[in-house]
Amino acid sequence: MKKFIIILPLLLTFNCLFNEAVKQENKTLTIKKIETIIENIDYSYWNTSNSNNSLYYNFYIYYNENDIEINDIEYCKLKDMNDRNWTINLNEYFDSEDKYIGGYFRFYDNDISNNGSVLMLKDLRIIIKLKNNIVNYDLNIDSPTNPNNENSNSEYLFVYNEDYKGRINKNYIYAIKRSEILNKEKKENNIKIEFIIDDKRVKTGKIWFYNKENKYSAYSKTMFVNEYSGEIANFINNGKIFNTDGNINILNIKNEEIQYKNNSKFEDITYCHIMLSDDIYDNKKHSKKDPLYRSISEKIVF
């Protein structure tokens, strides 16, 4: 009887541990939604890497479960119809608090084009491997609105940018174009840039500033077009118009219209980039259901 009393707690403990282990092994993950961001980035944006590529995939993969931790996931991959794989670094792009995998990891493809200027939009798959479960999510990315103001066309299989020199057909659509810089000037208290946007799909933009150490140090406090009111920023053509039809825009931004990071100041600014987007969106995470397309200009050095 004494032996039985001793063994019973041990059996109960073992049973609890076994059930917990089975529970951990059988964890699953349900994808709630995937937000896609495709970026058209000028080569000069990069200082150390990716200098030979200019069109990039980014994803936010949102899931439902509250108990998923990074150790529960063996890998998360993007796979295309040709069995090419891109693996997401979970140490950098996993957020258990907001329940998503991903971010701006910038996957590129230099098999379709040797300079990474074309991406496939259809027949993609997100694969998430857990300890005892595999989650597959078929992904077809909508194209940006047709430049002739037509709706997104399901026939588009590829998106390409200014750097692509190969053949195109009806299955190709142009990515959101980068701005063309005409003139720039930095004075004591303001920065003036003249630039052209020849793409009516562009809805807004922002200016990003960098210091001599190539660190992102500041940005315009507001978007070119306000994400809530639709109001044009005062530093864009005096707040009167935002030209996307090839006419010149004059950006004249003052020190007080710039938001600084990490104790940076106006004197620290040595260059900038103009970011353009096809959607009005929140600074941290966009909320639209359709994919977001954006472009980043050449380096504008002062």
Residue 248 has pLDDT above 90, yes or no: yes
At residue 87, the 3 state secondary structure works out as strand
- Residue 261: phi and psi, rounded to 5, are -115, 145
> pLDDT by residue (tens digit) across 76-131?
999 999 899 999 999 999 999 999 999 999 999 988 888 899 999 999 999 999 98
Measuring CA to CA, which residue among 194, 186, 181 is closest to residue 258?
186
Question: What distance lies between CA 125 and its chain's CA centroid?
Answer: 18
Residue with tokens 């080569």: 43
Kindly report the length of the chain: 302
Contacts of 21 (CB under 8 A, 6+ apart): none
- Residue 211: phi and psi, rounded to 5, are -100, -175
Domain boundaries, the chain: 31-174, 180-301
**What pLDDT is stored for residue 227 in this prediction?**
78
> pLDDT by residue (tens digit) across 7-40?
444 444 444 433 333 344 678 899 999 999 999 9
Residue 49 has pLDDT above 90, yes or no: no
186 DSSP β-pair partners: 191
What is the number of alpha carbons within 13 Å of residue 66 lying toward its C-beta?
0
Residue 231 has pLDDT above 50, yes or no: yes
- Asked if residue 202 lies in contact with residue 243, where contact means CB atoms within 8 angstroms, the answer is no
At residue 16, the 3 state secondary structure works out as helix
Kindly report the CA angle at 109 between 107 and 113, in degrees rounded to 5?
150
d(CA 104, CA 41) in angstroms, rounded, equals 12
Please give the model's pTM, rounded to 2 decimal places.
0.86
